[in-house]
Amino acid sequence: MVGEAVRIVVTDNMGEVQQAIEARLEGVSDFSAFWEQLRGPWEKSRREMYASNGRSTDTPWTKYTRAERRRYVPFKARVLNRSVKGMNDTLLRWGPGTGRLQPSLENTRHPYAIWRGTSEALTLGTSAPGAASHEYGGARAKEWMGGYKIPKRRILAFGGSFVRDVSVELGKFAATAGARRAGFSTTELMSLLRRGR
């Protein structure tokens, strides 16, 4: 393939590539605008991830074991001021205004969100405390939180929905870049597309 590469990569804290999406576009050397186009699809994919407990990213999250639930449910119910009986599917969520991990993934402008685009690359993720414990698993929750072993829950996995959205956005970006090279403004391009020319 000819052209400049666009690459979105998820690496671990040792720099090892975990997932990557790569494509090439002729005559494009600055992908900064493309990264901005991906904010909405990324945020949507993270909302879907939490709503589906990881299934939307093709990496379903491990459910709590009976022993983990026995230790963690009372703690979380107390923190959220809820009854233990009401703590079913909300164990992985803290609720509006109470958590850091989920909001930092669902809002790319959150203080803990990582969203750094250059002309060539996009680095995304979260710096929320405990994020690595969920992504890689194996760490232990603090004793006052139940002391259970945190299972691996991939919070940065792309999933098919996000990959499809990236493809759609890349097509829009390529069309806009091609129109600029041909001397059309974005407005003129959209007008031509609407008229079917």
pTM recorded for the entire structure: 0.77
CA distance 17 to 146: 32
d(CA 155, CA 134): 7
Residue 39's pLDDT is: 96
Strands (E), the chain: 4-11, 17-25, 113-117, 121-126
Question: Cα separation of 29 and 11, whole Å?
Answer: 23
Helical pair 159-181 and 39-51, crossing angle rounded to 10 deg: 170
The per-residue DSSP string of 16-31 comes to -EEEEEEEEETT----
Average pLDDT per run of 10 along the chain, which is 197 residues long?
Answer: 56 61 72 91 94 90 78 74 66 64 92 90 87 85 75 88 86 75 62 56
What pLDDT does residue 2 have?
44
